[in-house]
Structure 1
């Protein structure tokens, strides 16, 4: 944790601020190790403090080693202002995307007139683009749990089972395999509903010949896994197998090309152009190729037509092309990879070489 804090302080030097408030819970956890849901960090060149309330006092004492601990009084913002005054801060940065307008007004009304509150964007998020060794280890474990849960779920996918029941079993297996929860609500869509990229699991019963797409992930020590596989119940048709192989080839081309330094839209274009060449362009692939993951399920940088940033070494990112045909169905294949200078390390081990027939 101390290395993350030191790097953050280096990034603060050019902002002309006395200190910053970190109220985003994921950013707070990243810098301090505190996993509670209520706490604010105050950081400057020579200060690292955390304020939290009675509910989390024992927890913060166990989790946080490099910050001074302050117990919140009856009002959080009064406690923060008291510490700010003690520190003699007059130029204070805050996370514009996290602090609510109501809390901002409260803070403004409490601080002296000479104190400036200066909004900041992506104070910590940009640093989080590159995962350190400890983060990659946690993400790898989360993806391994996801792989095992998927393998244990496959045997129950039979004609007559409901999508909701498949999702429930997958969620149950995530917990049995060691997850603390889900990265997000598990997606299970079948038959024509597999054309819904983010469709919710329903009471629809799986039928022979249905494509079934499962998209889910384990949450492990705050870090999010993400993986998608599409299978078929019974024997797959030639059309289903062909579409699956086209999507797989698009993914493999992107995976083979991805390395540090490439711009996000360049990687997206590789898969998108391949799908277009095979008749699956336009609205048939309407989402981005991938997104980074970490303490949030969707992080930057992304693999998307709008992404102008280069992908750094150490980014952990999904590669998930999909084709969706309304009224017929769809296929998506998603792996989670670590970006390296000379390529990638794939964290996902679930089989994908051929359309799995159940």
Structure 2
């Protein structure tokens, strides 16, 4: 069974769980503006004209689309009915809504969850104009809770793709550890990983992030051609790939011994032990029913109690069809994270656990693991 068939079937179950009568996805020209939920709805996500994908809690799945988009959707055998139009979608859309007479209609807008915010403002205005004078205009609700569940609850096939993506990421990290040497620049490490990715017919899930030594710039900055590995440096590499459309996101680190050292110095070992202790604390807390902020809080406390500066990002995010997959976030209760950190952890979700501390004269000590909630 394809992932799209699995996810559309799963959608019906979640609609019933949340007592939502209809989920309506309204899109156009998806080669330009791509609603994130289309990955779970269509094998071929290319739609040219205004299109409506409708899934009901009674299990019916319907697509209304322009005439020349219909054939591929019909061929997938996923949808019970594919309705094509030439001049206007309005008549067919209203007819379908009148058939169901839903008490609520979930559409893809969200204040906090980008993965549930695929309805553009222009399409929102078009939808409202079509629904003027009908009872349905007051029945539109956000799909954010629904999509948090649909994207978060990975099927076994989705999880297998994530595991394979993680395996390839580990191989890329291993290549860096075995190949990188004194004098190699951040940019050369990045190029090494991009070449490895190409050799394996994959694509990266984000540009590789390379941080070497104390003068590097932590975060999402581009690898520098001028910062080169030297003795006493911490080397942090953040690298992930897509496998069959599913992402991994891993960080690994190395330390370059100085001439007088047989093992890393105390301050480096202490930083590494603190990072691992914090990640393990987060992993231990990551149980079904726990809110996202609670997982972040226990890991953050380990770092602060050890005397390090608080890290200015969430402990973890979901991975899946995107490297930042929306829904429940393992982060602090900061305004920018909104509702996402209040969601409860669920079985089948895949998260990152990541944080860093700075070690004076050596650089950033950072590790990131990918984990599945069981």
- Relative to the length of structure 1, the TM-score reads 0.79
Q: Pick from 242, 249, 269: which aligns with 1:219?
A: 242
Moved more, 48-57 or 233-242: 48-57
> 1:287 matched to which residue of 2?
313
Q: Does 1:277 find its partner at 2:305?
A: yes
Structure 2 counterparts to residues 36-185 of structure 1, below 5 A? 36-38=45-47, 40-44=52-56, 45=58, 47-50=60-63, 60=73, 65-66=78-79, 68-69=81-82, 73=86, 78-79=88-89, 81-89=90-98, 92-96=105-109, 97-110=117-130, 113-114=133-134, 116-117=136-137, 118-122=140-144, 123-179=146-202, 181-185=203-207
Q: Is the 8 A contact 1:187 1:216 kept in 2?
A: yes
> 2:286 matched to which residue of 1?
258
CA gap of 1:143–1:51, structure 2 versus 1, over 3 A, is farther
Q: Is the 8 A contact 2:350 2:371 kept in 1?
A: yes
Q: Does 1:207 find its partner at 2:207?
A: no
CA gap of 1:148–1:156, structure 2 versus 1, over 3 A, is same
Unaligned runs of 5+ in 2: 28-33, 110-116, 259-263, 334-340
Moved more, 125-134 or 49-58: 49-58
Structure 2 counterparts to residues 328-343 of structure 1, below 5 A? 329-340=363-374
Q: CA deviation at 1:327?
A: 7.5
Q: Is the 8 A contact 1:145 1:218 kept in 2?
A: yes
Q: CA deviation at 1:12?
A: 3.4
Give the number of aligned pairs.
Answer: 332
Cα distance in 2 for residues equivalent to 1:205 and 1:252: 32
Q: Is the 8 A contact 2:240 2:250 kept in 1?
A: yes
Cα distance in 2 for residues equivalent to 1:265 and 1:218: 27
Cα distance in 2 for residues equivalent to 1:112 and 1:262: 42
SS at match of 1:293: coil
Q: Pick from 276, 282, 288: which aligns with 1:248?
A: 276
Cα distance in 2 for residues equivalent to 1:238 and 1:73: 72
- Relative to the length of structure 2, the TM-score reads 0.76
CA gap of 1:61–1:145, structure 2 versus 1, over 3 A, is farther
